[in-house]
Every structure is written in C-alpha cells, then in structure tokens.
C-alpha cells in the first residue's frame, strides 16, 4: 500500500457509539452526545457492482408544495469543489434551494444553510474540504441554528462519512451524488429533528428529470449521461458516480432547445465518458454522433462536449464533427500516459499507437481541430523511459493545453495497492518537465493566431484588469482585449496582435467577410 494513502481505517471503529433505535427508516445512533439518523450509508463493495437492472427515468417534482416555504427569508451558500459535473450538480442544488424559498448569499455570516459539494478525485481535494469544515466549525459554534451539509463525491466514500460522524459531528447533513433530488426532504429532516441526517445511496438508481437548475451567464452545461463503467485502476469516479446510464435523447434535446430559447450562447454536453452515450439505451441504436447531429440543428451558436474517452471515440462522431457549424472543433481527449505499458496498468484499454492514430484521424478529418488532454505523472512504477514516452507523445500530438496531475492513491482502487517505487521528488520533477513542454506547445499554438481575426464569446472582465475583457474562441483559446462591459455575453471579432503561452491578446474589429 502506498504511504500517501490516508488511513481511514481508524474511523471504522464505532465501539463508542450507542444504537438508540433501528427500524425501516434506518438506524439512530449517538456518538459523543450527537444523535445521528443514518437512513443509508455508502458501501464501496456495492458501488463496485454493475447490475443488469433497468434504469428508470423519473420525471420528478422534487420540491413538493409543502416544502416551498421552508426557506423563505433565509439564505444559502454552496461551495463547489472539483469538476464541471460537480459545478452542474451545484446548479441543481441551488435550483432546489431557491424553489424552497432560500435566497443566494456570498456571506457566510448571512447564510442559514451552507453546503460543501465535494470532490474525491485526489487527496488534496479532500484535504481542502476537511480544512473548510474546520473553519465552519467556529461559525456553527457561534450560530447553532446554521445548517451545514456535505454532499458530492466524498460523501460516497465510507471512510469519509465515518470520519465526519466521529470527528466533525457538528455537520447536519450528508448526502451523496445519487440522491441529490432528496435534498428538500433532508433539509426538512435536519431542521426539525436536530439530528445529523445521513442518506447516501450506494446504488445509483434512476435518472431523475425535471429538477430545477440555477444557471448563470450565457454558457450552460447539460448532462447527457451519468456514471462510468471504465474502472481505470487509479480512479474513484466509477465508485462515487455509479454505473453508466444515458439520458433519453428526447430529454437532452428538449433541454438544449429550452436553453436556446432562453438565449444561451454555448452549451457543453457533460458525462464522464461521453463517447459511451447511448450504449445502455435498450432497443435504440443511437450514439453520441447521432445526438450531436440532432443538436447541430438547434439554433445555439456553440456546442461542446466533455469528457471523451479515446477507446470509445468512433468514426461516426468524427464524421459529424467534421461538418462544423455550431459543433466546435475543440476536443478534450485525455491520454493519461504516453506509455503503452503504463496505459495497460491504468486499464485504459488503448495503446500509445491507437491514441496517435485517433489523433491523426481527427486532425485529418476535422479542419482546424484542436486537442487538449489530461495526463497523470508518477503512476506506481512509472520509469524514466515511460515518462519520456509521455513527453514524446505530447510533442507528437502538439496539445494546445493540458490538465496535468501527480498520481494520487485513492483508497479502494486497484492502483492504491500497486507497489510505488517512484519518490515524490521525482514525480514533482516530471510534472515540472511536462508542464514546461505543454507550455511550449501552447505558445506555438498561440503564435499561429497572430494577425488573424477570431470570433470570441465574451465571458467577463479579465481576472487581473477590469478594463480588459476575456473570452474564448471556438477552440477554447482564452482571448484578452480592451472593450466595454456591455459586450459581456456577446460574440465579437478580435484581431490578434500578441501571443502568450496560455492566452492571446488583440483588438476589437468589425466582423470580417472571412474569419481566419
């Protein structure tokens, strides 16, 4: 077992807990004076199972009439950690809270309910959440009426839930990724019973449609599927997000149409492995390519999708993307490693050669295609030569940018028990070299824009300078230029005058007859 894995086993000892009652609503226990109602808890063995049961699609009214006043006059604050999937789940959580009468606030002192929507992908993400809980404890002691909840991927981990019950028992609610729609009932339970309420479903049940969502800005996320069945050996997601299940095409298309009607300028279709879309839809022969083709006919200016898995990326999708239109030519295609041996140990189910062939096919078929990626360095046993293969693949593909990570052992995953003889110092050096290489290719890609006029969707002011606006090209390149704040949310044309590694700079121009 790697030395870096957090030892959660100490939290599996409940000898000082007293069982108060046990019935069909769950178990009530008392630990150090705190009563906890455990309606259901996570179980990693269950989360690992993949059953054949049919997925039900439920068209739910998640906030019943009698709960629509519960938050009137009160405020909520949701902190989101992790990926776009979590950001989007937070939009649903906020949507439900607002239907319950709560109003948004940025101030902890004003908030009556604070939720931490958590990420479990790497250890440092978990450390940040426990750090935040430490700060919130002081607030809770000052204001016992404040409701504190922990949800998201960490809540799906047995060790984390046990740790919260034992060491952070000022928390009022814990719920997982499969029962977000139960939030109104859990808030009601925690408010009225004053117990800590724990409800985490280990088995992903159904797809719940019609949940309210609080979207902001002009870019919207749309889930097309949930879960992941790939079980890459380093990854916790298949356990925390459950089995792959696709939303029905008509439900996705109706949601995109509604966003178009509301004036959204860009949508991103979301899933852990979007290329598996449709494979679980019984009696249908309908894939991501088909969905993209149908969505390309909707009047929404830009359509993206993430995240792709190289193994399932098929020719049909390439053929549809090659038609362009509102389907942008940016593909995020995580490679993870450039070494076939490491990829095998990661159980990625493709080789270096297969990835390179796919990248080649994409560049040949889709005009101006841009690829970005995710890479892990320091996987257990990764040799210097294997790392060099990653660098050489980065050079060969010429990624525009990449998310790069040092491998982080996740309890219960196969890689966490693989022998790891790579010292942390070496892993850090590899990460640095990898980032330098990616930066170099980012700069080359930026330089290609010099003198060109690009179409930019303006997102807001630049982080460092209020007078400078920031937006993105179709290929997701960040663009800075001077302009009035009225342009936020609009498409503009910018002539590129300067290039940096991770962004390009330019000046506003009128729309040209031909875009570069």
Site for ligand SF4, rule CB under 6 A: 228, 230-232, 235, 237-238, 272-273, 309
Q: Kindly state the smallest distance separating residue 81's Cβ from ligand SF4, in Å.
A: 16
**Closer residue to ligand SF4, CB minimum distance, 89 or 112:** 89
Torsion of CA 87, 359, 400, 340, to 10 degrees: 80
Residue 231 interacting partner from ligand SF4, ligand SAM, none (CB closer than 5 to 8 Å by kind): ligand SF4
Check if the beta carbon of residue 224 is closer than 8 Å to that of residue 247: yes
Collapsing DSSP to helix, strand or coil, 230 comes out as: coil
End-to-end CA distance of the chain: 53
**Is the sign of the CA dihedral 319, 321, 324, 327 positive or negative?**
positive
Residue 83 interacting partner from ligand SF4, ligand SAM, none (CB closer than 5 to 8 Å by kind): ligand SAM
Residue 239 interacting partner from ligand SAM, ligand SF4, none (CB closer than 5 to 8 Å by kind): none
**Closer residue to ligand SAM, CB minimum distance, 345 or 493:** 345
**Closer residue to ligand SAM, CB minimum distance, 122 or 472:** 122
Residue 474 interacting partner from ligand SAM, ligand SF4, none (CB closer than 5 to 8 Å by kind): none
Q: Kindly state the smallest distance separating residue 336's Cβ from ligand SAM, in Å.
A: 6
**Closer residue to ligand SAM, CB minimum distance, 115 or 346:** 346
Check if the beta carbon of residue 208 is closer than 8 Å to that of residue 62: yes
**Closer residue to ligand SAM, CB minimum distance, 176 or 334:** 334
Q: Give dist(CA 47, CA 201) in Å, integer.
A: 9
Check if the beta carbon of residue 373 is closer than 8 Å to that of residue 335: yes
Beta strands 173-175 and 503-509: pairing type?
Answer: unpaired
Residue 238 interacting partner from ligand SF4, ligand SAM, none (CB closer than 5 to 8 Å by kind): ligand SF4
Q: Kindly state the smallest distance separating residue 474's Cβ from ligand SF4, in Å.
A: 25
Q: Give dist(CA 93, CA 78) in Å, integer.
A: 8
**Burial readout 43-64 (b: 16 or more C-beta within 10 A, e: otherwise):** bbeebeeeeeeebeeeeeebbe
* Beta strand ranges found along 262-369 (DSSP E): 266-270, 302-306, 330-332
**Closer residue to ligand SAM, CB minimum distance, 117 or 273:** 273
Q: Kindly state the smallest distance separating residue 349's Cβ from ligand SF4, in Å.
A: 9
Q: Kindly state the smallest distance separating residue 432's Cβ from ligand SAM, in Å.
A: 16
Q: Kindly state the smallest distance separating residue 225's Cβ from ligand SF4, in Å.
A: 12
Q: Kindly state the smallest distance separating residue 273's Cβ from ligand SAM, in Å.
A: 5
**Secondary structure (DSSP) of 446-471:** HHTTTT-EEEEEEEEE-SS-TTEEEE
Task: Name the site residues for ligand SAM (rule: CB under 6 A).
Answer: 83, 121-122, 234-235, 237, 272-273, 307, 309, 334, 336, 374, 376, 405, 407-408, 410
């Amino acid at each position: 077992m790697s030395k870096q894995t957090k030892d959660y086993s100490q939290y599996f000892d409940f000898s000082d807990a007293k069982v108060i009652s046990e019935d069909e609503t769950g178990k009530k226990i008392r630990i150090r004076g705190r009563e906890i109602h455990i309606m259901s808890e996570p179980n990693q063995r269950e989360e690992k199972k993949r059953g054949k049961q049919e997925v039900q699609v439920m068209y739910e009214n998640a906030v019943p009439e009698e709960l629509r006043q519960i938050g009137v006059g009160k405020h909520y604050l949701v902190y989101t950690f992790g990926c776009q999937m979590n950001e989007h789940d937070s939009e649903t959580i906020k949507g439900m809270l607002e239907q319950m009468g709560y109003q948004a606030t940025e101030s902890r002192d004003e908030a009556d309910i604070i939720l931490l929507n958590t990420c479990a992908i790497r250890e440092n993400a978990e450390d940040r959440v426990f750090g935040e809980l430490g700060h919130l404890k002081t607030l809770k002691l000052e204001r016992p009426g404040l409701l504190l909840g922990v949800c998201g991927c960490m809540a799906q981990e047995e060790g984390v839930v046990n740790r919260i019950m034992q060491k952070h028992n000022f928390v009022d609610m814990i719920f997982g990724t499969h029962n977000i729609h139960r939030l109104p009932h859990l808030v009601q339970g925690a408010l009225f019973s004053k117990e800590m309420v724990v409800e985490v479903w280990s088995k992903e049940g159904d797809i719940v449609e019609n949940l309210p969502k609080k979207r902001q800005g002009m870019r919207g996320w749309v889930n097309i599927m949930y879960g992941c069945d790939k079980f890459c050996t380093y990854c916790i997601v298949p356990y925390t997000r459950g089995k792959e299940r696709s939303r029905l095409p008509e439900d996705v298309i109706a949601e995109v149409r509604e966003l178009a009607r509301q004036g959204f300028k860009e949508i991103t279709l979301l899933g852990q492995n979007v290329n598996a879309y449709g494979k679980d839809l019984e009696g249908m022969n309908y894939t991501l390519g088909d969905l993209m083709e149908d969505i390309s006919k909707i009047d929404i200016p830009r359509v993206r999708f993430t995240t792709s898995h190289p193994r399932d990326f098929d020719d049909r999708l390439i053929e549809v993307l090659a038609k362009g239109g509102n389907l942008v030519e940016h593909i995020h295609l995580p490679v993870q490693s450039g070494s076939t041996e490491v990829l095998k140990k990661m159980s990625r189910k493709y080789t270096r050669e297969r990835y390179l062939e796919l990248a080649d096919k994409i560049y040949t078929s889709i005009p101006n295609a841009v690829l970005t990626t995710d890479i892990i360095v320091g996987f257990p046993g990764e040799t210097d030569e294997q790392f060099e293969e990653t660098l050489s693949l980065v050079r060969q593909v010429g990624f525009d940018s990449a998310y790069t990570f040092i491998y982080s052992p996740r309890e219960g995953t196969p890689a966490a028990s693989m022998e790891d003889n790579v010292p942390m110092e070496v892993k850090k050096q590899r990460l640095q070299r990898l980032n330098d290489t990616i930066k170099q290719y980012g700069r080359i890609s930026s330089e290609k824009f010099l003198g060109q006029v690009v179409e930019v969707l303006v997102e807001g002011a630049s982080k460092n300078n209020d007078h400078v606006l920031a937006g993105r090209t179709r290929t997701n390149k960040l663009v800075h230029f001077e302009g009035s704040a009225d342009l936020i949310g609009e498409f503009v044309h910018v002539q590129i005058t300067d290039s940096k590694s991770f962004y390009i700079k330019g000046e506003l121009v009128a729309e040209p007859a031909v875009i570069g």
